Amino acid sequence: MEIVHIPVLLEEALEQLSIKEGEILVDCTIGEGGHSVEFLKKVGTKGFLIGIDLDSIVLEKCTERLSKVGTNFRLVHGNFKNVLGIVFELGFSKVDKIFADLGMSSFQLSKGDFGFSFRENGPLDMRMNKEMQFSAMDVINRFSENEIASILWECGEERFSRLIARKIVEAREIKQIETTFELASIVSKVYPLHHRKIHPATRTFQALRIYVNNELGNLSLMLDEVPEIIRIGGRIAIISYHSLEDRIVKNVFKKSPKFKILNKTVIKPKSGELKANRRARSAKMRVAERV
Ligand code: SAH
């Protein structure tokens, strides 16, 4: 089993969550278990770890990895928006700590068949869970020009959303757009030259992934539910990777009377981590206590 993903803000997450022996922790996005291997060590044999992920393949890898550390864990193939039901179903009414490391893993990015990356050629799919109703290919080939432009704007803050949407519609009239490279090439061709600090397709791909997987909706639903299951004095830490997610976390932590923000300024990776791990570039962690 090859581990591809390097966990982001691992030390900071351990410090902020301040996990004690015997505690119950939910990792809402367990992925390859980069964080949870350490969480499991901290809760010890008297504690318990619940891991959730939408991706069943990654769960197999994770089971193997965690089994080397302990047996007091359960992995659930599911969506963290249902975290309440998942925790209850496993027989717990309250937990001590909740953690989520949003987005996709390097493992998923590196596998072209998800279609997340404009650097890997693959089918334009983007569904983290193949049971989702529609894929990025459906959005790109069937949605109206206006709908595509709105998605690029609302889920990607792409300032050239209208121009890109128009070019997508023109291109699909000639031939259905089926691969990541086809889409990346359409976007790259129209993107104004002096606005290319990042790859021109970055925001388009981000927007499609967020939309197809309803990532912002899932996050809001999860944040709505979690105060019910975190014991008073328990903690929640969330790592996000773009401003849309971070804004949701920030607002909920600020406005909800059930949360007290623990970190006054947002926690970001130190320069050493930034150099060693590309994925850490845009990471931001916020931590709150259940009050
Ligand atoms: N912390 C992990 C990496 C997590 S990457 C590690 O260090 O190994 C993010 C993971 O979240 C991915 O595996 C992705 O499939 C999962 N994910 C994204 N949205 C989800 C959701 N709504 N519910 C459950 N899992 C989700």
pLDDT tens string for the chain (291 positions)?
Answer: 677 789 999 999 999 999 999 999 999 999 999 999 999 999 999 999 999 999 888 899 999 999 999 999 999 999 999 999 999 999 999 999 999 999 888 888 777 778 899 999 999 999 988 778 899 999 999 999 999 999 999 999 999 999 999 999 999 999 999 999 999 999 999 998 888 788 999 999 999 999 999 999 999 999 999 999 999 999 999 999 999 999 999 999 999 999 999 998 999 999 999 999 988 989 999 999 999
Q: Between vectors from CA 92 to CA 86 and to CA 97, what angle results, nearest 5°?
A: 85
- CATH homologous superfamily of 133-212 equals Putative methyltransferase TM0872, insert domain (1.10.150.170)
Q: What are phi and psi of 32, to 5 degrees?
A: -85, 5
Distance 211 CA to ligand 1 centre (A): 16
pLDDT, residue 1, reads 64
Number of CB atoms found within 10 A of residue 289's CB: 16
- From the CA of 8, give the closest atom in ligand 1: 7
Residues 12 and 267: beta-carbon distance below 8 Å: yes
Q: Which residue has the tokens 């920030």?
A: 250
Which residue puts its alpha carbon closest to atom 4 of ligand 1? 31
- Tell me, what amino acid is at 8? V
pLDDT, residue 66, reads 97
Instruction: Tell me the C-alpha distance between 93 and 95, whole Å.
Output: 7
Within 6 Å (CB) of ligand 1, which residues are found? 5, 7, 29, 31-35, 52-55, 58, 79-81, 101, 103-105, 128, 218
Distance 179 CA to ligand 1 centre (A): 24
pLDDT, residue 176, reads 97
- Mutate which of 63, 128, 249 for ligand 1? The one with the most ligand atoms within 8 Å of its CB, which is 128
Instruction: Tell me the C-alpha distance between 27 and 52, whole Å.
Output: 6
Tokens at residue 22, please?
């015997």
- Mutate which of 53, 77, 111, 238 for ligand 1? The one with the most ligand atoms within 8 Å of its CB, which is 53
Q: How far is CA 52 from the centre of its chain?
A: 12
- From the CA of 107, give the closest atom in ligand 1: 13
For the question of whether the overall pTM of this predicted structure is more than 0.85, the answer is yes
Q: Which residues contact 65 (CB under 8 A, 6 or more apart)?
A: 1, 3, 32, 33, 37
Q: What is the CATH number of domain 10-107+215-290?
A: 3.40.50.150
Instruction: Tell me the C-alpha distance between 271 and 2, whole Å.
Output: 26
- From the CA of 35, give the closest atom in ligand 1: 7
Distance 33 CA to ligand 1 centre (A): 9
Among 95, 38, 87, 45, smallest CA distance to 65 is for 38
Q: Which residue has the tokens 């291109």?
A: 171
- Mutate which of 6, 17, 105 for ligand 1? The one with the most ligand atoms within 8 Å of its CB, which is 105
pLDDT, residue 264, reads 85
Distance 29 CA to ligand 1 centre (A): 3
pLDDT, residue 57, reads 87
Distance 99 CA to ligand 1 centre (A): 11
- Mutate which of 14, 17, 29, 80 for ligand 1? The one with the most ligand atoms within 8 Å of its CB, which is 29
Among 44, 161, 33, 183, smallest CA distance to 99 is for 33
At 32 the three-state DSSP class reads coil
Distance 83 CA to ligand 1 centre (A): 13
What are the extents of the domains in the chain?
A: 10-107+215-290, 133-212
- From the CA of 5, give the closest atom in ligand 1: 8
